[in-house]
Amino acid sequence: MRRLTFLLLPLMVALLFTCSNEPVEFTNNYNIIPFPQSLQELEGQFVLNDNTTLAALGADEGVQRIVSDFAEELRSKSDLELPVSTGVLTAPISFGLDPSIENPEGYTLQITADEIQARASTAKGLFYAIQTLRQLLSNAGGDVWYFSAATIADAPRFPYRGMHLDVARHFHPVETVKAMIDQLAYHKMNTFHWHLTEDQGWRIEIKAFPKLTEVGAYRDGTLIGHYNDQPHQFDGKRYGGFYTQDQIREVVQYAADRHIEIIPEIELPGHAQAALAAYPELGCDGGPYEVWQKWGVSDNVFCPTETTFEFLEKVFDEVVELFPSKYIHIGGDECPKTKWKESAFCQQLMQEEGLKDEYELQSYFIRRVESYLNSKGKQIIGWDEILEGGIAPNATIMSWRGIEGGIEAAKAGHDVIMTPTSHCYLDYYQSDHPDEPLAIGGFLPLEKVYGYEPIPAELSEEEAKYVLGTQVNLWTEYIPTREKLDYMLFPRLCASAEVGWTEERDFSGFVQRLIPHMTRLEEMGIQPANHLYDIKSSISGGSGIVQVDLQALAKDATIHYTADGTVPTTASDVYPGPLNVTNTATIQAQCFLDGEAVGRPWQQQVNWHLAAGGGINLVEEPHPKYSSGGRTALINGINGSDDRYGDAEWLGFDGKDCVAIINMGTAKTLSQARFRFFKGEGQWIYLPKSIKISASPNGRMWVDVGQMGAVQGDTKVVSTAVSLQSVSAKFLKVEIENYGIIPEGEQGGGNPAWLFVDEISIY
């Protein structure tokens, strides 16, 4: 029976007495993440006691090892001696292989008051059964530990459930990597994608090329603050590190013991400046190069010479010996073509090989590498740019720039791993609270991660079979420490784990299970971001009002609020539902649980103007990734963040103009229009080329009332004002012209610029 509602079965039964004769009460809890495909709740509990033993049925060494490890964990929790028997013997808790269970990662659990039976067709399936038992283990007080009774039949939805960690921008030691592997196993994820090389550092020892780590693993400084902060400043401190081959082997075995495959990534042909710093002859202009100190994408890439291919083949000779994985990830993303266009060698090679442009040259590069890795018994994975210029014959695609690359690859019969920025990039901000620590940009809250559907609707049932699964990615430009790593990963990793595993999902139930799960994470040394009691606002407008809707993810708290700028207490009004605002106001709110403030306080300033709460239409809709606030976000009287463009107030237009028709409800006399724009040229976000404003009494006859040329400014958020002719109008047409194509030589050169617009205030 599929269990969709839960989670606390109200069974409070006094069954035992402690040594002090105090009754012990049990509550059946089924707070499992990811949630099983089928869970039937039963009455009763299996209680650990002095007679509890475990049996690993059969002679499988893998089963015996995981059962022994589990027994040791139970001993450490309960202080009970829990012996393990092996062979054909049974025991109160038994683990055995059952070939009738079809999915090699599937398992069944039968938990009653008398016994626990775990069955699977492989040791891996039993390992996942143990992860479920670890989460079911509960404490009734003192030394009384128990499992809630249940019948569970479980197996993953997708065969690939992964996490990517970039250790090149910021290096994370072996202990941290192992801690992340532990968490992947605990959440039934089976792949760790280890991003080992970049412009900013080469992190893997290659004995044939010692300078890769002697030179390439260290940079002479690191960017201070955000890439968008101008001018760039650097700390001037030598920074780096790398993994020896012995450490690599140690981590690979550690992961294998937890049924996790590690896929290494060696970036090519771009993101290669650290390698070029060590061996400049691999570049197109001979250098000299330095390990890059800033973020972004360097124009210095591998040159497709025979020297380069010989170098890469020797590198991969060592990589394939270290990693037994089926796949090797070769990157293939964000490869600027500037140096290739300037290189006489590259142009001659293109002519000799019949390649029409540099995109086909990249495909030629990828195919050469794929052919060599195929000869070593490996398959390649590449980011979706390897589709450009023609896909390599046997490549698997990671679709990151959206879902389009995944759709194209699946329709062409290639395996796909879905990892779009919109739902899977955990280096994005997870909260719009002003106290959030620095992140790269974007906005990806917990509920959006959880809401991702990896199978695109555009695929047929047959094409959908090529979608292997999904992966979350953590790039570490702004993640230098273990503490920050935990904060950015958890609990969003938990949400992704359930996306990859569980067929039918329910976010409200997930949040209920997550509340106690956060305590588990903390007990294991993880420091998660707890936004469950942070208040989130949803702002809408129309009919002359701005409506403010408040909620928290966790539903067991009460929201109190004020509208006069004072700090809320339990004596303040209880939030009754959406608040209708019709003038300038400062609203504050706070969650309270058992009389205590929980979560961070929330505050919102509404700055009323002539168009606030009016109607608005857009000729071109903003990009779906940057449109969560809807079109009314442009005229709701609320300013977006001054530091980041990913919150609901900022609307992003990819290569498009922003043309808005505003209905102010009644005719009003105009004097000025004020605008807020985001500037982040390192992230392809440019200020507009021009602004034009027209007015109309009826929405049909328009007269120009104001304009200005290119908007100028050096701060991240640029505010500007346009004087308007003093006319009476009900309708305004605002035309904001996109910058256009980014100049060559700049980040994103040759691509359309983004335009980010916040409030359009009319006075």
Which of the pair, 88 or 598, is modelled with greater confidence?
Answer: 598
Span 474-493, pLDDT tens digits: 999 999 999 999 999 999 99
CATH for 160-523 is 3.20.20.80
Average pLDDT of the residues in 296-313: 97
**Spatial CA neighbour of 652 closest among 620, 604, 674:** 620
**Cβ atoms of residues 470 and 162 within 8 Å:** yes
Conformation bin of residue 9: beta by default, left when phi > 0, alpha when psi is -120 to 50: beta
Span 423-467, pLDDT tens digits: 999 999 999 888 899 999 889 999 999 999 999 999 999 999 999
| Domain extents in the chain | 8-154, 160-523, 535-606, 615-762
pLDDT of residue 392: 85
**Cβ atoms of residues 534 and 602 within 8 Å:** yes
Residue 17: pLDDT band (50, 70, 90) is very low
As to burial, measured by CB atoms within 10 angstroms (0-12 exposed, 13-18 middle, 19+ buried), residue 185 is buried
For the entire predicted model, the pTM comes to: 0.91
Beta-carbon-side half-sphere exposure of residue 26 (alpha carbons within 13 Å): 24
Which residue type is seen at 262? Answer: I
What is the rounded distance in angstroms from the CA atom of residue 743 to the CA atom of residue 392? 30
Span 671-723, pLDDT tens digits: 999 999 999 998 899 999 999 999 999 999 999 999 999 999 999 999 999 99
If you classify domain 8-154 with CATH, what class do you get?
alpha beta
Comparing 21-35, 214-228, 561-575, the range with the smallest average pLDDT is: 21-35
pLDDT of residue 68: 95
Please name the fold of domain 615-762.
Jelly Rolls (2.60.120)
Instruction: Please give the DSSP secondary-structure letter assigned to residue 104.
Output: T
Mean pLDDT of the chain: 94
Task: Determine which helix (DSSP H) or strand (DSSP E) holds 497, and give its type and residue range.
Answer: helix 492-501
Residue 4: pLDDT band (50, 70, 90) is very low
CATH 2.20.110 for the 535-606 domain, yes or no: no
As to burial, measured by CB atoms within 10 angstroms (0-12 exposed, 13-18 middle, 19+ buried), residue 504 is exposed
**Cβ atoms of residues 510 and 518 within 8 Å:** no
Comparing 167-181, 415-429, 741-755, the range with the smallest average pLDDT is: 741-755
The pLDDT of residue 390 is above 80: yes
Span 499-515, pLDDT tens digits: 999 999 999 999 999 99
Residue 561: pLDDT band (50, 70, 90) is very high
**Cβ atoms of residues 751 and 684 within 8 Å:** yes
pLDDT of residue 22: 62
Here the tokens at position 263 are 């896929």
Percent of the chain residues topping a pLDDT of 90 = 88
pLDDT of residue 59: 80
Do 535-606 and 160-523 fall under one CATH topology? no
The pLDDT of residue 19 is above 60: no
